[in-house]
Amino acid sequence: MKFVHIADMHFDSPFVNLSDKDILGDLRRLEQRKVFKKIIDYIKENKIEYLFISGDLYEHKYIKLSTIEYINNLFKEIPNTKIFIAPGNHDPYIKNSYYNKFNWNQNVKIFNSEIEKIEDGDICIYGYGFNDFYCTNCGIEQLQIEEPNKINILVIHGTLDGASIEEKQYNSISSKILKDKKFDYVALGHIHKADYSTNLVYPGSTISLGFDELGEHGMIVGNLEKEKVQTEFVPLDEETFKEIEIDVTEIISKEELIEKINAIEINNNEYAKIILIGKRNFEINTYDLLKYITEERIIKIKNHTKIAYNLEKIANENTLRGIFAKKMLEKINQPNQTEEEKEIIEKSIEIGMEALE
């Protein structure tokens, strides 16, 4: 049997933390549609029999009816492909979800919070879907494969071997238990990085959702026989994200920094985040900097620099600067400060030092 496995599309994601430029969210939402159309075209051209969607197809809080209709109309283009959807924590099967209230095409099966088995000849497809934004026990331990001689597949959203408190809230599943169940293929979702080294497979997010998801993104294409699975990762996202570090230690002015950033060459299929490091010699306002960046592919600037002032040395001066430095040292060394509080203190030091020079 030939199949395509995707997860974590996150249709209509707001992309609020992706960029400091407003338009990029709209561009990435258009890219979501473009990539999904490529998946459907691939399925048509290659006569793929099954499409597994392992959760987070869309964002429940933001999804528009027009987007659901767009998805479903594409499903209508592949009537001979059986589509199985296991809702995740971002698109749970709840009362007011489109999984529940929308009239999906007849080739679509949406699983809910009761583990269900669908038989299709010599293939058995099991599935489970979130019925809330959290899941701590899907009941997979109690599942017994009823027909082990058939091809058995599980479609589910969750975290393999989740150890932290947060991971356990998103359907932590023991990989040992899954292997002991002897599924021929487990179509997983939730982890945004592809992992297809075993038959417990994460395809990763279909397109990159930001700078914490560097590298290629796409789908898993597979051919499955009993106790034999062949998988291939097929890249789909035409845009990639990269991070570039700039050490500002030797840069003495905002103008020089702007010139250095504008000199960076970015490829047309890349979005770049500039990370400023080192010791800064002047106050840096990243939002102000971005106004002067001519390269449109630079969409974010992060300031990870430290102040260049030697406060301990200045505090020994018998001057107003020395008194100010001593007071600020007391503040900056206070325990249990948040990163935001430290940043405010550092900016206060810069402004104060410049005023006292």
Average pLDDT value for the chain: 93
Instruction: Please tell me whether residue 58 adopts helix, strand or coil conformation.
Output: strand
Per-residue pLDDT tens over the stretch 288-330: 999 999 988 999 999 999 877 778 888 898 899 889 988 888 8
Beta-carbon-side half-sphere exposure of residue 42 (alpha carbons within 13 Å): 21
Gyration radius of the chain's alpha carbons:
26
Q: Write the DSSP string, 243-254.
A: EEEEE-TT--SH
Q: Write the DSSP string, 331-357.
A: HHT-SS--HHHHHHHHHHHHHHHHHH-
CATH number, domain at 63?
3.60.21.10
Average pLDDT, stretch 192-208? 96
Give dist(CA 290, CA 27) in Å, integer.
19
159, 246: one domain: no
Whether residue 336 has pLDDT greater than 70: yes
Please identify, among 192, 213, 235, the residue that sits at the C-terminal boundary of a domain.
Answer: 235
Give the residues across from 273 on adjacent strands. Answer: 243, 300
81, 17: one domain: yes
Spell out the residues 6+ positions from residue 217 whose beta carbon is closer than 8 angstroms to its own: 194, 204, 205, 206, 207, 208, 235, 236, 237
Average pLDDT, stretch 33-43? 98
Residue 328, token pair as written in the block: 């600020």
Confidence band, pLDDT 50/70/90 cuts, at residue 343: confident
156, 221: one domain: yes
Whether residue 55 has pLDDT greater than 90: yes
Give the residues across from 201 on adjacent strands. Answer: 187
The pLDDT value given to residue 18? 77
Burial of 104 (0-12, 13-18, 19+ CB in 10 A): middle
Q: Which structural domain range is residue 69 located in?
A: 2-235
150, 268: one domain: no
Helices (H), 191-338: 254-262, 286-290, 311-315, 320-332
Name the residue with tokens 């982890």.
191
188, 314: one domain: no
125, 196: one domain: yes
The pLDDT value given to residue 179? 93
Confidence band, pLDDT 50/70/90 cuts, at residue 340: confident
231, 244: one domain: no
The pLDDT value given to residue 153? 98
Give dist(CA 92, CA 58) in Å, integer.
10
> Measured over all CA atoms, what is the biggest interatomic distance in the chain, rounded to whole angstroms?
88
Per-residue pLDDT tens over the stretch 111-154: 999 999 999 999 999 999 999 999 998 999 999 999 999 999 99
223, 250: one domain: no
34, 93: one domain: yes
Three-class HEC string of 295-315: CCCEEEEEECCEECCCHHHHH
Please identify, among 235, 257, 284, the residue that sits at the C-terminal boundary of a domain.
Answer: 235
Give dist(CA 304, CA 299) in Å, integer.
16
Q: Which helix (H) or strand (E) holds 109?
A: strand 108-110
221, 338: one domain: no
Q: Which of 220, 219, 264 is nearest to 242 (CA)?
A: 264
- C-alpha angle with apex 219: 48 to 53, nearest 5 degrees? 70
Per-residue pLDDT tens over the stretch 220-240: 999 999 989 999 999 999 999
55, 172: one domain: yes
Q: 163 or 170: which carries more pLDDT confidence?
A: 170
Residue 51, token pair as written in the block: 């499409």
Whether residue 178 has pLDDT greater than 70: yes
Q: pTM of this prediction?
A: 0.84
The pLDDT value given to residue 227? 83
Please identify, among 235, 268, 302, the residue that sits at the C-terminal boundary of a domain.
Answer: 235
Percent of the chain at pLDDT > 70 equals 99
Confidence band, pLDDT 50/70/90 cuts, at residue 193: very high
Confidence band, pLDDT 50/70/90 cuts, at residue 22: low
> What letter represents residue 258's amino acid?
I
**Domain count within the chain:** 2
Per-residue pLDDT tens over the stretch 108-120: 999 999 999 999 9
- 324 phi and psi angles, rounded to 5 deg: -60, -45
Give dist(CA 171, CA 162) in Å, integer.
8
80, 101: one domain: yes
The pLDDT value given to residue 296? 87
Give dist(CA 32, CA 81) in Å, integer.
21
- C-alpha angle with apex 306: 303 to 310, nearest 5 degrees? 160
The pLDDT value given to residue 21? 67
